[in-house]
């Protein structure tokens, strides 16, 4: 079994393929201090499992959950191990907590871990603590933009998050900023689908459910234990956009798809849907960028704005590998101390306080 950090990749679609390409590039076009310590030992999708040098003997058959369990088995039982989830599978996300509890770090692009039920969120947090493992979630909101890590850093510094608002869907941002009201919105949606800017079935984007999961992750990261049914989600009605656009234009405003979370005296307000914004609103910019406004004790009157490309295989894969590299860095800094202390008999523990600490 090879030393260093062993990795199993689940999913070889748009994001998984980009992870493989970027990892190969990092390792062959180094020098990158930690990339050489990464050993990809298994790659799985629903149809096949590829084992690479360093894989622990994986003899498990496809258990109906793709080849995921066999890929996990290939990680072995000791040392720094990471599973990278580049699937959109609820069955895989349901395993995150168990893998963490078993001492395996999880790095994920899938929002169904932390953005599904509150009980699953709690299970992941508790398991990360129990397993002394990291849960790399940088890719789940803003595809690696410094959003979740900023919210965590503000809270670590004693700040309370008062609200978060964002344009969190690149495809909906593109559609609404591109639409000029001259024809049916439906035609632009079809154009976006053909260009690959939306899901193959655009109704998935228009439903707002994916944005809702991102808002749930933001809320929970901000210390607000929000259940999915507490978010008011208003699907984008294609037939309605031309009328809404005309009304917004007459008022000197623009339409944007916004996720909004507000904590005030009345409680928590969470909503996902189309809004007519003033042109100088920080969320009103054009293009497909993600824009996230954070209000905290220190950024109350003048909020903090994070903006940049928040979707696409390239930035998502980079965010996943940022999290992987962070774990590799921690593993390497741990090793000498552990070796001296003779502690290498079990999975490494990176949390000196005993509190599992999330990445991003």
Ligand X SMILES: NC(=O)c1ccc[n+]([C@@H]2O[C@H](COP(=O)([O-])OP(=O)(O)OC[C@H]3O[C@@H](n4cnc5c(N)ncnc54)[C@H](OP(=O)(O)O)[C@@H]3O)[C@@H](O)[C@H]2O)c1
Q: Which residues are catalytic?
A: 214
The 281-320 site mask, x for binding ligand X (CB under 6 A), equals ------------------------------xxx--x----
Please answer whether residues 150 and 304 qualify as being in contact, where contact means their C-beta atoms are separated by less than 8 angstroms. yes
Assess 169 for contact with ligand X (CB under 6 A): no
State CA 89 to chain mean position distance. 14
Nearest distance from C-beta of residue 320 to ligand X, angstroms: 9
Q: Where are the beta strands (DSSP E) in the chain?
A: 5-10, 38-44, 49-51, 81-85, 105-108, 135-136, 161-167, 232-233, 253-264, 267-278, 290-296, 304-308
- Among all residues, whose Cβ is closest to ligand X? 13
CA distances (Å), 61 to each of 47, 67, 100, in order?
12, 7, 22
Q: Examine residue 49 and tell whether it contacts ligand X (CB under 6 A).
A: no
The reply to whether 172 sits near ligand X by the rule CB under 6 A is no
How do 49-51 and 232-233 pair as beta strands?
A: unpaired
Residue tagged 């509190």 (tokens):
355
Among 38, 41, 58, 66, binds ligand X (CB under 6 A): 66
Q: Output 66 or 348, the one with its CB closest to ligand X.
A: 66
CB of 326 to ligand X, least distance (A): 18
Closer Cβ to ligand X, 111 or 134, answer by number: 111
Q: Kindly determine how many residues on this chain lie close enough to bind ligand X according to the rule CB under 6 A.
A: 29
Of the pair 125, 213, the CB lying nearest ligand X is at 213
Whether residue 31 is preceded by a cis peptide bond, meaning omega within 30 degrees of 0, is yes
Q: Contact letters (x/-) for ligand X, 138-157, by CB under 6 A?
A: -x---x--------------
Backbone angles phi, psi at 94, to 5 degrees: -65, -15
Token pair belonging to 143? 């595809």
Cβ distance to ligand X smaller for residue 65 or 351: 65
Tokens in use for 223?
């210390």
Residue 255 binds ligand X (CB under 6 A): no
d(CA 6, CA 16): 16
Please give the Cα distance from 205 to 203 (Å, whole number): 5
Asked if 218 interacts with ligand X (CB under 6 A), we say no
Q: Is 16 in the site for ligand X (CB under 6 A)?
A: yes
**Strand, coil or helix: 7:** strand
Q: What are 279's two structure tokens?
A: 């042109």
Q: Which is nearer to ligand X, 34 or 257 (CB)?
A: 257
- Only segment of 27-35, 83-91, 171-179, 337-345 that touches ligand X (CB under 6 A): 83-91
- Please state the closest distance from residue 321 (CB atom) to ligand X, in A: 13
Q: Is 10 in the site for ligand X (CB under 6 A)?
A: yes
Chain residues in the site for ligand X (CB under 6 A) = 10-16, 44-47, 65-66, 68, 86-89, 91-92, 109-111, 139, 143, 311-313, 316
């Amino acid at each position: 079994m090879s030393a260093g950090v062993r990795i199993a990749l689940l999913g070889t679609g748009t994001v998984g393929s980009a992870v493989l390409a970027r990892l190969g590039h990092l390792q062959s076009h180094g020098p990158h201090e930690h990339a050489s310590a990464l050993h990809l030992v298994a790659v799985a999708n629903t149809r096949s499992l590829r084992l690479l040098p360093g894989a622990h003997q994986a003899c498990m058959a496809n258990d109906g959950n793709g080849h995921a369990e066999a890929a996990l088995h290939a990680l072995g039982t000791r040392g720094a191990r990471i599973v990278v989830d580049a699937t959109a599978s609820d069955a895989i996300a349901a395993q995150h907590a168990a893998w963490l509890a078993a001492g395996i770090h999880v790095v994920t692009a899938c929002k169904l871990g932390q953005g599904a039920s509150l009980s699953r969120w709690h299970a992941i947090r508790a398991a990360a603590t129990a397993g002394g493992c990291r849960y790399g979630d940088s890719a789940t909101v803003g595809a690696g933009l410094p959003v979740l890590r900023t919210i965590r850093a503000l809270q670590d510094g004693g700040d309370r998050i008062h609200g978060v608002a964002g344009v969190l869907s690149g495809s909906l941002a593109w559609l609404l900023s591109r639409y000029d009201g001259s024809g049916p919105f439906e035609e632009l949606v079809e154009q976006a689908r053909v260009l690959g800017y939306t899901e193959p079935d655009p109704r998935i984007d228009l439903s707002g459910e994916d944005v809702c999961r991102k808002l749930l992750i933001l809320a929970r990261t901000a210390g607000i234990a929000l259940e999915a049914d507490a978010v008011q989600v208003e699907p984008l009605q294609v037939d309605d956009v031309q009328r809404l656009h005309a009304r917004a234009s007459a008022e000197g405003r623009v339409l944007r798809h916004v996720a909004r979370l507000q904590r005030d005296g009345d409680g928590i307000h969470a909503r996902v849907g189309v809004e007519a914004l003033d042109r100088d609103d920080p969320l009103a910019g054009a293009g497909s960028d993600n824009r996230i406004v954070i209000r905290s004790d220190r950024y109350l009157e003048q909020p903090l704005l994070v903006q940049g490309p928040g979707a696409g295989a390239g930035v998502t894969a980079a965010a996943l590998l940022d999290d992987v590299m962070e774990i590799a860095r921690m593993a390497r800094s741990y090793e000498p101390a552990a070796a001296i202390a003779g502690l290498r008999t079990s999975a490494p523990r990176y949390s000196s306080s005993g509190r599992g600490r999330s990445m991003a």
